[in-house]
Structure 1
């Protein structure tokens, strides 16, 4: 069955949409007919490349620079987006911020939960800001129009199994975001605004590129039921499902895109 056009006529905003998982999501939405606002922080060239890919698929796209943790910049971004493409029907909160040396800590087994309180607090505050500010700007319009879809990009490691060493700041921040998603889903349900979490596992991107990446891919694949790590396109496909009417009666869900590695 050809399922192209699931999102035709809708406008989506993807924070952190210029690279990695965010780019995969933005391209997947555009390929299904959505017009897409590609938010970026610093890499204008990468954002322009994603816009070109969406336009090549036949959808409209616009790159807008903004720091998703800055309330004023987010408000300006949403104004620019709606003026150019129309009201936002789908909001994807993907921004996570810089990874720092989390990959090295993961591979070396160094601990963080007991030794890096400042990093954990900073990461959690930034993650919640990058979720709450876009929601605050977009959700009133969705409620007035009688519906919409919000997809938060979480982390599969917040559920199931033993948390990996060295990535406490990411796990704690994403767990806080997940709690926020459940509260939003409950509060916004009467307005037909759905809020769901798509939680990737290990997804090879430029954010975790480097000498450790091949080893990470090999080791994680060994403990993954499907036998391989995922791709940004896999995450994009899951986001499309939650953005479309296929899941119109689903809210408050948490779906791990990790090949079954962290089953509940």
Structure 2
């Protein structure tokens, strides 16, 4: 991971609401992986004496559903777009390999309210949050991207009631003479060479029954697990990498003031979600 730039915070500093993660809302940034038909069971689970238990009747439409494992499973072959390996465009020429790793993520400490030094829009948001029963706030101070690879996070062994934040940003057009030129794939591949658009950050609350794939080059915050202090969510992570730091992961920091006293961009999380037991 290489820090390529520290960005000034927009004025006024955005405060945004985290909304439930859905495939359609997340589509500009990647893909959501979840069971498309959680109430549909494989043929072996069905009562053989019941009507309409033919294979065609059992399979939900779409997602490339087929019966597998001698009738004991349903396989979804078109659940999400294929993973991408764009390292053939990397300047170093260093080839990539597929990687499977694990991140054990502790629940983040959330702010009960925005700090007094935060922007007027954040203060207004704090006031409305208190009137509606209160919210909790996650400060975004860092965004990163993996320009040559998709990156998939799969919560492992978590209850469906578990929650985590997915925070992403669109990519701005690249200026004609970028102050810090960085390696990215050829035009038309990945999200492009620009910096993150801080004015249009999006925040989602994902459940333990949802995995996410960040598209190649998508700006995103590091994973933020929610829940009680001391709780964790374990993620299996699948991506490609070539061990050239500037090609594998590029990072921008948000300027939160001297001594890091500022809040950065704030994401409001409903209190019942932020404090829920994992």
Alignment TM class, shorter chain as reference: under 0.3
Q: Which has the larger radius of gyration?
A: 2
Structure scoring higher RCO (CA < 8 A, sep ≥ 6) equals 2
The structure richer in helix per residue is 1
